[in-house]
Amino acid sequence: MLNTEAPSISHTELDLYPTTQLVDVLIDDQLNAIRAVSLAAAQIAAAVDAATPRILAGGRLVYVGAGTSGRLGVLDGVELLPTFSWPNERALSLLAGGKQAMFVAVEGAEDDAAQGAKEIMQLALTANDVVILIAASGATPYVLGALQAARATEALTIGFANNPGAPVTLQAEIGITLDTGSEVISGSTRLKAGTSQKVALNSFSSALMVRLHKVYGNLMVDVKPTNVKLLRRTVSLTMHATGRDEAYCRRILEECDFHVKIAILAIVNNISTSSASEKLQACGGDLRLALHKTST
């Protein structure tokens, strides 16, 4: 029996606990998800280093999963646009059962290996693409079908699973095991197995975006201001990085369509936003490099 499916030997009378104790137990067990991700940190770092040159060469991120794992992949991908201005067409998600499976379980969809392979082949992958395959069991047929099809294209494959020795981690180019063990509610991998996947995917994609110069220091300088809250954030980020007042930073941001990196470069080096845009582009979007070049 898989570790994630095995009945837990702890809390065998969970249904008899008073509510306060019940909630405490469920929360406490989630701490094991963080420990599992921490133990896989070296493999996550290796995945980031392997993915970076491919993505810099124009590759795409492709998330593949079923059920909770698939939904977490979708979530990680769609959040890259507002956080890092990462284009949606370069963060794709394949979810067993299609878009409707985000909201309603599609019976039998995860068992269709041929469909996983078919959907991968429809993407016309290249060697620069990075395919992220997520399965708590590590043996979901839909995910394994997609994995085999992706391997045939020479795309980079990264497998995440919550059981040691799982097919998805053994067959992917880089395997990441998040060994969370049995669940407090036996077999419910939406609990700490899902939490570990969320943390691991978040860490992988965030680290990748840092390597792609989407972050300056620890500032989210490539934010896409898609709402009022994020517009305010562009102003506060620019103020923090430059030390200038709100009115001045807002005026410069308005000149460059609220592109924080351009505004910072223009303000710090006292140049026009158009010049700042050109210099930033010449430096591959690396704000730190652009600041250094314009100050020497």
Amino acid at 236: S
Active site residue 5: no
List Cα–Cα distances, 60 to 76, 78, 133, 155, 218, in angstroms: 14, 13, 14, 10, 24
Token pair of 202, please? 């978040």
Which of 110, 119, 173, 183 is the catalytic position? 110
List Cα–Cα distances, 218 to 61, 221, 239, in angstroms: 23, 9, 14
How many angstroms separate the CA atoms of 229 and 3, rounded? 42
Residues 6+ apart with CB under 8 A from 91: 60, 61, 63, 77, 78, 80, 81
Which of 5, 13, 79, 246 is the catalytic position? 79
Backbone angles phi, psi at 63, to 5 degrees: -95, 135
Active site residue 173: no
How many angstroms separate the CA atoms of 133 and 277, rounded? 36
Q: Which residue has the tokens 């980020």?
A: 237
Residues with catalytic roles? 79, 110
